Structure 1
Amino acid sequence: MSEIERGRGVALWSQISGILAADIQKGQLRQGEQLPSAHELAQRFDVNRHTVRRAIAALEQRNLVRTEQGRGTFVQEQTLDYPISRRTRFTQNMRNLNVEADIEILEDAREIPPAQVAQSLGLDRHEHAYRIETISRADGHIVDYSTAYFPATRFNGLPAVYRRLQSVTRTLNEFGVNDYERKHTRVSARLPDATTARLMQQPASRPVLYVQSINADTRGVPVQYGITRFSGDWVQLVLMADH
């Protein structure tokens, strides 16, 4: 157990902050791991909780930890740079970053989409679209929770193909779309709703990066409308020059 030294002219909170920072840098406290409670740390270092809170605040200023209201303090994960370009592909992005990735399909449905989605896909008011909900992970971390819409008439039976291939690119290839590009991207930060917070396993008080996008084939015809909610603490969006 690490001990602090009293009477050497260095504030106790600063010593505690330094000890915990060293634990993080040595890997004794791993990325995403929850720190002991303020009570436990106060007992470990034989100080009051106010001193512990000051030490934690210093770690937050160094971006080594993050505190989630009602849950505790966690070691800050290394930010994942996620490129967005004219040809954004999740699998390729993860391969380029040398991380292990997987996609979990939560739900699919054939429905009349919201008016904004229908307009973006060039659908008539009563035309159907397929909606597919997914969770994407990289090295075990949740990267995003996504909702994707595809024109149902053009891509009849798409959900079954997507469940088999688990790739938008390969699924669209099956329907004769050999290439597609990002036609539109809008990025904002917002607080997640209850469903998003639950699925992304984060508190509702932590913002997500909310990305709305339209992908179109080589003729400029929209093939996909997407809403992607990225983890704000884990993902940093990088807009590439060709976007």
Structure 2
Amino acid sequence: MKLKEGIPRHSQISHWLRKKIEDAEYRPDEKLPSENELATMFDVSRVTIRRALQSLESDSIIYRCQGLGSFVSDNRTPHNLVRLTDFDEDMANAGLIASSVVKEFITVDAPAWLSGILGIGEGTKVIQIDRLRLGNGEPVAFDSTWLPILYGQLLEKEQLQHSTIYKTLEENYNIPIIRGCYRISAELADDQLASELKVDIKSPLLLIDRTTFTIGEKPVYYQKRYYRSDRVMYEMTLERRKDDSSSAADMPLKEFVPVFRS
């Protein structure tokens, strides 16, 4: 394949590969031609091919596995969730613009299951907030959040269209969010979730149950977030100690990342 004069060869090759991927000629997780095959195809050195592939890898267009080759990355962008983050931070780290549509902002009586989680009496008034969460204007998740009145009264419906609970409490009221407990499971979309997330009824969803705490181990809120499973998955990296005394308790979580596809 002939390359044009006056334009860096590696740039032309990376553009050609990018176009093939965008046109779905190379599909997600499909292996690309080898460096030798590409070098022969374009009549260039392997050094030039490596530069072209490095450019695509830095843009998260492909990923490379040592000894196996280069593969299409399915437009997924990982970001760090080892530290506690909110939805806006997750979206920003994934290169997406976050926004929310507040569907409900109401006061309800806490049922027995919720009162135990929030450390309040059954029937105590709590604030329930239902939100559709968007990434670049497209549905990514739907969540329901319950807060004790102490914290819920500090929030406003309009404010949550463009901000988060974390940001509002930390920046406006100096209430730090210091810890979150997560539980990840699967759920099937009911009529409401299917409608909000634009998926078929009974489509598989990724459910994140989260309880968030402030100073003094006080629960700030309990949340159920339903992610579209075609838009997000989680990757985990664990570290094993090299000495013989390693055990399950000695393998700390080094990386825990939600990976979004655009």
- Per the shorter chain, which TM-score range? 0.5 to 0.7
Provide the C-alpha distance between the structure 2 equivalents of 1:163 and 1:113, rounded to a whole number of angstroms.
22
Residue segments in structure 2 that go unaligned for 5+ positions in a row: 1-17, 28-73, 237-252, 257-262
The alignment yields a C-alpha RMSD, in angstroms, of 3.1
Which amino acid in the other structure matches residue 241 of structure 1?
Answer: K
Give the alignment partner of residue 212 of structure 2, picking from 211, 215, 218: 215
CA 1:83–1:104: 2 relative to 1, 3 Å: farther
Deviation at 1:196, TM superposition (A): 0.6
Q: CA deviation at 1:125?
A: 1.3
What are the within-5 Å matches in structure 2 for residues 135-174 of structure 1? 135-160=132-157, 162-163=159-160, 166-173=163-170
Looking at structure 1, the residues matched to 207 and 221 of structure 2 have their Cα atoms a distance apart, in angstroms, of 17
Cα pair 1:105 1:134 within 8 Å, conserved: yes
Give the one of 169, 180, 184 matched to 2:181.
Answer: 184
Pair 1:126 & 2:139 matched = no
**Equivalent position of 2:23 in the other structure:** 27
1:229 aligned partner:
226
Q: Out of 251, 254, 260, which is 1:241 matched to?
A: 254
Greater relative contact order (CA < 8 Å, ≥ 6 in sequence): 1
- The amino acid that maps onto 2:132 is I
TM-score by length of 2: 0.58
Give yes or no for contact 1:183–1:213 (8 Å, CA) kept in 2: yes
* Structure 1: stretches of 5+ with no match in the other structure: 1-21, 32-76
Matching residue within 98, 101, 105 for 2:98: 101
Alpha-carbon distance between aligned partners in 1 of 2:199 and 2:146, rounded to the nearest angstrom = 25
Q: 1:198 to 1:238 in 2, by over 3 A?
A: same
TM-score, length-scaled by structure 1: 0.62
Match of 1:90 among 67, 71, 87: 87
Instruction: Find the counterpart in structure 2 of residue 19 from structure 1.
Output: none
- Deviation, 1:25, is 2.8
